[in-house]
Homo-oligomer: A and B are copies of this chain.
Amino acid sequence: MTRVAVVGGGIIGLSIAAELLDRGADVTVYDPSPDGADGAWHVAAGMLAPGGESAFEYPHLTRLLEAGHELWPSFVAGLGDVGYDRAGTLSLALTADDVAEAAREWKHQKLTPLTGSQVRDLEPAISPRVRAGAFAAAEHQVDPRKIVAVLRERLTGRIIPRLITDISERDADDVVVIAAGYRTGALTGLPIRPVKGQVLRLRGEPGLLKHVIDGAADGRHVYLVPRADGEVVVGATQEERADRMPTAGGVHDLLRAALDLVPGLAEHELTEVTAGHRPGTPDNAPILGFLDDDRRVAVAAGHFRNGILLAPITARLIADLVLTGTADPILDAFAPGRFR
């Protein structure tokens, strides 16, 4: 039986570990946080948007996002209720400048522009000031906290609350998978950096919003992810900073953009103010594969804004790699060696 150590108990590490366990490996996850809640997943809203902006610059990433997106129905089928919701995403633009900017993305994604009133027909809570929008039927949502809870349950007894600071600590294992988010940089020397994101959680009567909202309001980008229970996740700032502090400016900008687009959110309770770190890479694409100089060590990190969307495909590809020793060709563009 292959013995695998997974370093990192976030959504990537847990998805890989659960897949390996299903396929008969003897897997152990190492994560210093007792509930893994310092991971990016804990802050993440869980938008599943394969056509997102990050793929503009890296066509290989578009293919991976699309392939990853297709795995979601079967992935969640095995998990129970994890808030998987396919109502789709409304992209909004408040001002004329916002429309000019958004139109470029809508064109890239082959979405049909909608007028303000067409948008409000779909989602009556949208502000009358919103000028235009587009409907992205393929952009879904899921609740990352629910997924992690299910995966942790499945891996009961296999998650060790320990900080691994040197990969050689796990020399006794057949393979070590490094899925430690931005901390993978310090463990491997790979160029992965923390990109801070501040995220709010609001709560009110369910039903104000039916769709995910992904909008621009006076140049401020914001997304609103409404859960079935009345929670609305509002994100996210994008800052090249390593601290975890929510700031007055960050929270203000998110609330202002959210209220500009959906004024009815003003009466919602503000229940959580958090900040986390996306694992950023130089090309915004993840790093997936064996280290060139040590084929006993696989990396699965640097997913930047796409960690939730890519968790199922990462789990499948890395489990294949670990158990067969052979990389799927789709991984070629994401090999750690591309940064040497």
Instruction: Show the binding face of A for B, using Cβ within 8 Å.
Output: 200, 202, 234, 245-252, 255-256, 258-259, 265-270, 273
B249 close to A266 (CB less than 8 A)? yes
Closest-by-CB residue of B relative to A251 is: B270
CA distance A143 to B202 in the complex (A): 30
CA distance A176 to B71 in the complex (A): 69
Measured CB to CB, the closest approach of chain B to A12, in angstroms, equals 28
Copy total for this chain: 2
Q: A247-B267, A247-B268 are in contact. List 16 more A-B contacts (CB 8 A).
A: A200-B248, A202-B248, A247-B266, A247-B270, A248-B258, A248-B265, A248-B266, A248-B267, A248-B268, A248-B269, A248-B270, A249-B266, A251-B255, A252-B255, A252-B256, A270-B273
CA distance A252 to B265 in the complex (A): 11
User: Which one, B246, B252, B259, contacts A249 given CB within 8 A?
Assistant: B259
Measured CB to CB, the closest approach of chain B to A222, in angstroms, equals 12
User: Which one, B200, B250, B252, B269, contacts A245 given CB within 8 A?
Assistant: B269
Q: Which residues of B contact A259 (CB under 8 A)?
A: 248-249, 252
CA distance A265 to B247 in the complex (A): 9
Some 12 contacts from A to B, beta carbons below 8 A apart, are: A200-B248, A202-B248, A234-B248, A246-B269, A246-B270, A247-B268, A248-B267, A249-B267, A252-B266, A255-B255, A256-B256, A270-B273
Measured CB to CB, the closest approach of chain B to A310, in angstroms, equals 31
CA distance A269 to B244 in the complex (A): 9
Q: Which residues of B contact A266 (CB under 8 A)?
A: 247-249, 252
Measured CB to CB, the closest approach of chain B to A328, in angstroms, equals 44
CA distance A249 to B250 in the complex (A): 15
Measured CB to CB, the closest approach of chain B to A22, in angstroms, equals 41
Q: Which residues of B contact A202 (CB under 8 A)?
A: 248
Measured CB to CB, the closest approach of chain B to A91, in angstroms, equals 21
Closest-by-CB residue of B relative to A244 is: B269
CA distance A281 to B123 in the complex (A): 42
CA distance A56 to B2 in the complex (A): 79
Q: Which residues of B contact A270 (CB under 8 A)?
A: 245-248, 250-251, 273
Closest-by-CB residue of B relative to A202 is: B248
CA distance A250 to B259 in the complex (A): 11
Measured CB to CB, the closest approach of chain B to A292, in angstroms, equals 41
